[in-house]
């Protein structure tokens, strides 16, 4: 059974810092991996999707990497802003017909002005 | 529509009553998923629909939970004889073809059983 772990559970940084969020998964047979952000009381917003054949994806100040062999993904946020404050979730789509997502518990990020 | 729409956004119900939650996926998305997020916990997979194929119900926690989907459109999640442990945010997601292009989630229905 796939298990996804995110470290740290919470992170507080001053505005302008670069930061890295970590995600690890136990079963390397994933279909893809997706990073989301969740704001309080809101649904999930997709940030980046990395297919199993890819190593990284970039969108603006965000860069996500995937290393299937080590079971790890990282989300790099450059020049953090207070508006980046949210919970960041990584989720691995399991191989198989349903390809449902297995989620980590999230990293709660606070960017201080 | 432009996104995944869920209704109601909030639902308070008495223990023992039945509730029905609705999800309108993005038009053209053949795959539809239901997830549950209990307070302070991660998201749990409940059920998956792909076109007209038989749904994958492997995540449903008990036989009080059921879901339907008409073709590639609206889905309803029904919880019978609700219990307090059913209190959670129920999230619906759709995908163009099972996860190929990632998921788009709705804003969820917050269910509170009192």
pLDDT tens digits for range B19-70: 999 999 999 898 999 999 998 888 999 999 988 888 999 999 999 999 999 8
Q: How far is B105 from chain A (nearest CA, A)?
A: 6
Give mean pLDDT, residues B101-106: 85
* Kind plus residue range of the DSSP H or E element containing B78: strand B75-79
Q: What angle (nearest 5°) sits at the alpha carbon of residue A85, between those of residues A80 and A89?
A: 105
User: Per mean pLDDT, which range of A43-57, A69-83, B66-80, B85-99 is the poorest?
Assistant: B85-99
With a cut of 90, say whether residue B2 has pLDDT above it. no
pLDDT of residue B1: 52
B105 part of contact set with chain A, CB < 8 Å: yes
pLDDT of residue A95: 75
Cis peptide before B2 (omega within 30 of 0): no
Q: Tell whether B45 is within 8 A of chain A (Cβ).
A: yes
pLDDT reported for residue A64: 97
| Residue of B42, B58, B99 lying closest to A105 (CB–CB) | B42
Q: Do A91 and A103 form a contact (C-beta atoms < 8 A)? A: yes
- Report d(CA A7, CA A48) in Å as an integer: 18
Q: For residues B23 and B46, what is the distance between their CA atoms, to the nearest angstrom?
A: 14
pLDDT in the model for residue A42: 79
**How high is the pLDDT of residue A86?**
97
Contact (Cβ atoms closer than 8 angstroms) between residue A104 and residue A26: no
The whole-number average pLDDT for the span A9-21 is 96
Cβ contacts of A100 on chain B, cutoff 8 Å: 33, 45, 48, 56, 59, 99
Partners of A48 in the β-ladder: A35
**Is B101 near chain A, with CB under 8 Å?**
yes
pLDDT in tens, A70-108: 999 999 999 999 999 999 999 998 777 667 889 999 999
b/e string for B78-114 if b means 16 or more Cβ within 10 A? ebeebeeebbbbbbbbbbeebbeebbbbbbbbbbebe
Taking one residue from A and the other from B, the number of pairs with CB-CB distance under 8 angstroms is 58
Q: Which pair of tokens denotes residue B40?
A: 């302070």
Give B54: exposed, middle or buried? Use CB within 10 Å, 0-12, 13-18, 19+: exposed
What pLDDT, on the 0 to 100 scale, is given for residue B79? 98
Q: Return the bridge partners of B95, or none.
A: B31
């Amino acid at each position: 059974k796939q298990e996804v772990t995110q470290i740290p559970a919470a992170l507080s940084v001053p505005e302008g810092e670069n930061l890295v969020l970590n995600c690890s998964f136990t079963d390397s047979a994933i279909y893809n991996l997706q990073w989301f952000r969740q704001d309080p009381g809101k649904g999930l917003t997709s940030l980046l999707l990395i297919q199993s054949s890819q190593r990284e994806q970039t969108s603006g100040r965000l860069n996500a990497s995937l290393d299937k062999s080590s079971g790890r993904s990282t989300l790099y946020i450059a020049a953090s802003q207070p508006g980046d404050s949210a919970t960041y979730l990584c989720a691995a789509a399991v191989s198989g017909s349903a390809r449902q997502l297995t989620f980590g518990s999230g990293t709660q990020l606070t960017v201080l002005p | 529509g432009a996104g995944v729409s869920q209704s109601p956004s909030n639902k308070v119900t008495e223990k023992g009553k039945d509730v029905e939650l609705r999800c309108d996926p993005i038009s053209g998305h053949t795959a539809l998923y239901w997830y549950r997020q209990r307070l302070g916990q991660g998201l749990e997979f409940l059920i998956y629909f792909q076109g007209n194929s038989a749904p994958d119900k492997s995540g449903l926690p008990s036989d009080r939970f059921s879901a339907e989907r008409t073709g590639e459109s609206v889905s309803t999640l029904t919880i019978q004889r609700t219990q307090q442990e059913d209190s959670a945010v129920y999230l619906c997601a759709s995908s163009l073809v099972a996860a190929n292009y990632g998921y788009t989630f709705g804003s969820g229905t917050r269910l509170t059983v009192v």
